[in-house]
């Protein structure tokens, strides 16, 4: 009876992890991050819709220390495949409030010029859980956005 009760409690918990984008732990040969223990993937969608330019990215991504933070560029129209996308680190804060280095959060490229249209950012090792990063996403002729990344594993 106790085992059934515990199973009923943990199933919704695991399902909520999966719904929030549970990190993929696997060997990565396609990154320049060296030896990493997994990756977090998110999509950056942009282009023109109903006559208006748009940009869409998850507001907060959950990453792990010594992992690859992969941002897949998904332009809606071919016209936007060659537009420069810039990821610019703005700030980092350790759980105790001290500033954290955020230089790893700076990269740029185009959907057409990157392997698998993916920007790969290498999260440093030994970053404590709870560290929060702010960064900007800028796309030529589209605009900018200011999402976050939080170290949770």
Q: What is the CATH number of domain 23-151?
A: 2.60.40
Q: What is the Cα Rg of the chain in Å?
A: 17
According to the per-residue pLDDT averaged within each range, which of 13-22, 33-42, 123-132 is highest?
123-132
pLDDT at site 32:
77
55, 42 Cβ separation under 8 angstroms: no
pLDDT range class, residue 3, cuts 50, 70, 90 = low
> Positive or negative CA dihedral for 69, 34, 129, 136?
negative
pTM, rounded to two decimals: 0.77
CB contact set of 26 (below 8 Å; sequence gap of 6+): 38, 39
Alpha-carbon dihedral 58, 59, 60, 61, rounded to 10 degrees: 20
pLDDT at site 34:
82
């Amino acid at each position: 009876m106790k085992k059934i009760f515990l199973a009923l409690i943990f199933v919704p918990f695991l399902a909520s992890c999966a719904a929030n984008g549970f990190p993929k732990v696997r060997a990565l040969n396609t990154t320049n991050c060296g030896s990493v223990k997994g990756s977090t993937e998110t999509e950056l969608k942009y282009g023109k819709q109903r006559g208006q330019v748009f940009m869409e990215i998850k507001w907060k991504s959950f990453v792990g220390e010594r992992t690859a933070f992969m941002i897949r560029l998904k332009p809606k129209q071919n016209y936007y495949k060659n537009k420069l996308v810039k990821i610019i680190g703005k700030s980092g804060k350790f759980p105790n409030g001290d500033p954290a280095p955020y230089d790893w959060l700076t990269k740029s490229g185009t959907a057409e010029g990157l392997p698998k249209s993916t920007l790969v950012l290498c999260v440093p090792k030994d970053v404590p859980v709870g560290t929060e990063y702010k960064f900007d996403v800028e796309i030529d002729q589209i605009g900018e956005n200011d999402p976050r990344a939080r170290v949770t594993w």
